[in-house]
Amino acid sequence: LKEQMELKDGRVSYDAAKLVKMLGQDAASLLPDIFARLDSNGFVDTQALTLLLELTPKVKYQTSKEEVKMLLDLFDRKRSVSFYGYDLHRVNAAVILLGFGVEKEKAVQVLKEELPKAERPPWQYVLNVFAGYGAKLKPVAPEILAWSSKADNDGILVYRCLLFIDPDLVKELPPGLEAKLRKSPGQYGLMAPELLFHLKIKNEESWDRFAKELDQEPFYLLLQTLHLLEKYGPQAKSLAPKVEKHLTHENETVRLAAGVCLASITGQAEKSIPVMLEIVKTHFSWHAGNELRRLGPAASVTVPELMATAERRPGHTAKMLREFAFDINRQAAFEWWQGRDRK
């Protein structure tokens, strides 16, 4: 990927950019290369800025003074406005700064200047990325809420985004929208159940919608549904049988998501752990280890297996396996190591 990011004109191939976005925390080692695409002589690589926008909430990374300056410099460059009506580069740079927790006052000031200029809200992809920043965008939540009056589709995408940024702003929906959501939740996909559950509105239609989505074939729809159901915990317990069947899905990512979801809605991880641990042991990835870690204390029983597997794996993989083991249960990992040394 580092080689792919050294292509002429500072551009990254579509496939390489797609892979970078999938890396999660592992992408942190690529951030210096991405920052380098922000040319200091006046040419802004929109693609690099977009990559940073997506990756910032997913990684732990300490920005250098030079990297912060590169983002701040974008505030002063004159460019034509985007399709939405605001300066895309200024907004993205400000959001990234808030994500890294640096120069927050300047970033908020720029966002308060730019966001009200929008003639329409950005499309769903951008709102989903903003939602990933959570409470870090809370200082500009009122400006985002104002977009709902300019939006198509009753502003539901804006309200959903705000659930993650400042839930207190979404205490009630505009007159008529709640009725629309209850009458035809399928019209809005899974966003309708999300909003209705947040507002504590009883709606069996939404559970029916979830049940139908769990029968969908495309794996990306299953992932979306499983990740969403996970948030509702025991409220979704009636759907446990449908979730459990996906522990045998052909796609490993779906099996991992089903394992976390099932543990969340049933409060028990006994059925999830063997499936998830087998994936970690045979096809280890950072994502697989992180999903296992998300089971919380219930995953402690996997620590001996993780530590033993690390003994048989090469350098970086072994290091990651041990890190997950210590994150899950530090004491159990130390005890395993001490037991090995005694032998």
- Nearest by Cα to 304 from 280, 286, 272: 280
What pLDDT does 114 receive? 93
DSSP state of 269: -
Place of tokens 């993650």: 164
Question: pLDDT (tens digit, 9 = 90+) per residue, 158-185?
Answer: 888 898 899 888 877 777 777 777 665 5
What pLDDT does 44 receive? 46
Computed over every residue of the chain, the mean pLDDT equals 84
- Nearest by Cα to 83 from 54, 39, 46, 136: 46
What pLDDT does 42 receive? 45
* Terminal C-alpha separation, the chain: 42
Cα–Cα distance between 232 and 258 in angstroms, integer?
14
Percent of residues, the chain, with pLDDT higher than 90: 40
Question: pLDDT (tens digit, 9 = 90+) per residue, 41-53?
Answer: 444 478 888 889 9
Cβ neighbors of 59 (< 8 A, separation 6 or more) are 24, 25, 27, 28, 31
Intervals of the chain under pLDDT 50: 40-44
Cα–Cα distance between 182 and 167 in angstroms, integer?
20
Structure tokens at 126: 């951008």
DSSP state of 152: S
What pLDDT does 144 receive? 93
What pLDDT does 102 receive? 93
- Nearest by Cα to 164 from 213, 111, 192, 128: 128
Which helix (H) or strand (E) segment holds residue 19: the answer is helix 14-22
